[in-house]
Amino acid sequence: MSLDLREGDGDCLLPVRVTPRASKTEILGVAEGRLRVRLQAPPVDGAANRALAEFLAKALSLPKTSVRVERGETGREKTLRITGLPAAELRARLKSRVKPES
């Protein structure tokens, strides 16, 4: 898994590519250094951003407040700020949730 994670100020910055209005919410894998996520939520009034943060917080066993959109609120490519989890631990938790690269 070759995620382009960055650490700073005790937080991790996680690049994500989102596909809204999918049939189900799921982590697809990693492509071009970004975590690929499908969301059922539509990209309207921040619904997809909230759904993404809540979904990843649950997947990483973190409180909802530990995951927030740092950049890309209106685009498909986003950067999430993950607080309270070092990069090595974030990679380990994601590894069990991400399908192997092909």
**pLDDT given for residue 75 in this prediction:** 94
CA atoms within 13 A on the CB side of 100: 1
Could you write out the DSSP letters of every residue in 67-85? EEEEE-TTSSEEEEEEES-
pTM of the model: 0.91
Helix residue spans in the chain (DSSP H)? 47-59, 87-95
Residue 86 has phi, psi (to 5 degrees) of: -65, 160
Q: Is 33 exposed, middle or buried (0-12, 13-18, 19+ CB in 10 A)?
A: exposed
Which is the CATH superfamily of the domain at 6-95?
Answer: YggU-like (3.30.1200.10)
**pLDDT given for residue 99 in this prediction:** 64
Dump pLDDT digits (tens) for 40-92: 999 999 999 999 999 999 999 999 999 999 999 999 999 999 999 999 999 99
**pLDDT given for residue 102 in this prediction:** 44
**pLDDT given for residue 101 in this prediction:** 54
Q: Which residue has the higher pLDDT, 96 or 70?
A: 70
Dump pLDDT digits (tens) for 4-19: 999 988 899 999 999 9
Dump pLDDT digits (tens) for 29-41: 999 999 999 999 9
| Token pair belonging to 82 | 């993950």
